[in-house]
Amino acid sequence: MEKNKKLISGVLCLVLAVAIIVTTSMNFLAVREVPYPMMGPSVSEVKMLSDWNPNLKDTNGDTPVYILKGEKEGGSMLILGGTHPNEPSGYMSATLFIENAVVEQGTVYVIPYVNHSAATHNDPGEGNLQYFTLTTKSGERTFRFGSRATNPIDQWPDPDVYVHYPSGQQLSGSETRNINRAYPGRPDGNLTENMAYGVMELIRNEDIDIGFDLHEASPEYPVINATVSHQVSMDIASVGCMNLLMGGIEMSLEQSPTNFHGLTHREWGDASDIRAAILMETANASQGRLRGATTIEQVLGGRDKCYTKSLELGFLYVPWEEVGHPIEERCGRHLEGIKQYSLAHNEVNPEEPIVYSGVPGYQELYLDATREELDGTHLAKFLM
């Protein structure tokens, strides 16, 4: 009798375990499908990053590169979203650019999910959302909320200590899967280094003049509402930053530290002839260690009661008002930044300008919205 009881409870536990494994496995497999932007008016071609680094072909590190070509020859610009797919304003700004930009002169390369692999999973322990849905012009569209680092299914295990190539800088082993510590990358390296190498090859082969890497940071992180620029582009960055400030956008400007390696704003400038290497940070309420419960309001509305408390305690590096930092403000900052820095680039390089229109900026995305629309609702109006 006792034996039978044990057998029955064992079988029940096994059945329950199998049911949980099957259900959650199907869920984890489904998130490997990343929703891509639709083809905007200037998209002339969609290539893959493997066109610049063939090692990426048929891997989860390969990712679409949208090419927006103007009618007139001009300079060339690169925009990266999704360096960290847990920072939604990066890939949402890239998506907004692809679906709205009308490029008149020059060529713009946009990679919405530069670490494609990182968009296919979530960080264990962080309790993040997997998806969020917006009602766009074409109906409901679902977007992924991913991870900061390459999916361990694609690159595993991490070493105990990550040694950056070629500087030899040491970081925590998990940073091995962070593409923004992997530049300039190498073709005989791991998947993340190969992705970084693909971006570097794109920059070198397409003679990119100005490159943007769009990020978010937790509100308690010191570098926030900020632009970080390589020393080669401090002239362009200074002019652009002043124009942003005059337009009412709080923005600090920092020069890329020379002793911190692997980041876009350092290695793009060091390892290529790029004229401007610029990284921008906005405030993401869903990212920090001080944040409250995971909600859609936190991710898209940028509101969190824990951060309201943290502001009172003096822990934040950004202003924190009741409105929070909604996705409209964060994407507005990025897209306005791209506009102002590219205009500054055109002033410095009048023979090879990059001219585009149609992309909503800070005014259209944020200032023109009503308070109730500041949760992705207003931003969705600019998506196809």
Partner 1 sequence: MSIEFITFIVMIGVFLAGCFAANLPVGLSMVLSSVSGIIVGGFIGGLDLTLLDALRHMVEGMFAYVDTILVITCAMVFMKAIEKSGTLDAIASVIIEKFHKRPAIMLCLIMLIIMFPGMITGSSTACVLSAGSIMAPVLMMMGVPMLETASILAMGGLLGMIAPPTNLPAMMIGAGIDIPYSGFELPLAMMTFPLAFAFALMFGYKYVKNMNYEEVQAKLNTAGRKEFGFRIYLPLIVAVVLMVAAKMIPAFSIGMPLVFLISAVVAGFCGYKVNLAQVGKESVNSTMAVMGILMGVGMFIQVMTLTGVRGLIVTTCISLPGWALYVAAAISIPLFGAVSAFGAASVLGVPFLLAFLDKEEIIVASALSLIASLGDMMPPTALCGIFAAQVVGIEKYSAVLKKCLIPCLIVIAWALLFIVFANQLSFLIL
Question: Cα dist. 157→138, 162, 164, 174, 210 in Å?
Answer: 41, 11, 16, 9, 35
Span near partner 1 by CB under 8 A; candidates 201-209, 229-237, 244-252, 284-292:
284-292
Residue 254 bridge partners (DSSP): 228
Q: Which is nearer to partner 1, 197 or 221 (CB)?
A: 221
Span near partner 1 by CB under 8 A; candidates 39-47, 245-253, 302-310, 334-342:
302-310
Phi, psi of 259 (to 5 degrees): -100, 10
Query: How many other CB atoms are there within 10 angstroms of residue 297's CB atom?
Result: 17
350 near partner 1, rule: CB under 8 A: no
343 near partner 1, rule: CB under 8 A: no
From candidates 187, 205, 309, 323, binder to partner 1 by CB under 8 A: 309
140 near partner 1, rule: CB under 8 A: no
Contact 95, 376 (CB under 8 A): no
Who's near 243: CB < 8 A, 6+ residues apart?
340, 343, 344
Minimum Å distance from CB 336 to partner 1?
25
CA distance 346 to 26: 49
Q: Which is nearer to partner 1, 23 or 205 (CB)?
A: 23
Minimum Å distance from CB 245 to partner 1?
24
Per residue, the 3-state secondary structure of 108-119, as one string, reads: EEEECCCCCHHH
289 near partner 1, rule: CB under 8 A: yes
CA distance 382 to 146: 22
Minimum Å distance from CB 72 to partner 1?
40
Span near partner 1 by CB under 8 A; candidates 219-227, 322-330, 337-345, 370-378:
219-227
SS3 call for 342: helix
CA distance 80 to 28: 25
Which DSSP symbol is given to 68?
Answer: E
Kindly provide the b/e burial profile for residues 154-181, where b requires at least 16 CB atoms within 10 angstroms of the residue's own CB: bbeebeeebebbeeeeebeeebbbbbbb
E strand or H helix at 333, and its extent? helix 327-348
8 near partner 1, rule: CB under 8 A: no
139 near partner 1, rule: CB under 8 A: no
CA distance 323 to 366: 11
24 near partner 1, rule: CB under 8 A: yes
Residue 54 bridge partners (DSSP): none
- What does the per-residue mask of binding to partner 1 show for 145-174, with x meaning CB under 8 A? -------x----xxxxx-x-----xxxxxx
From candidates 154, 175, 328, 336, binder to partner 1 by CB under 8 A: 175
CA distance 18 to 40: 44
Minimum Å distance from CB 296 to partner 1?
7
Of the candidates 86, 87, 78, the one whose C-alpha atom is nearest the C-alpha of residue 111 is 78
From candidates 310, 340, 346, 377, binder to partner 1 by CB under 8 A: 310
207 near partner 1, rule: CB under 8 A: no
- What does the per-residue mask of binding to partner 1 show for 97-136, with x meaning CB under 8 A? -------------------------x-xxxx--x------
From candidates 313, 321, 322, 370, binder to partner 1 by CB under 8 A: 313
Write out the residues near partner 1 by the rule CB under 8 A: 20, 23-24, 27-28, 122, 124-127, 130, 152, 157-161, 163, 169-175, 220-223, 259-261, 289-296, 304, 306, 309-310, 313, 315
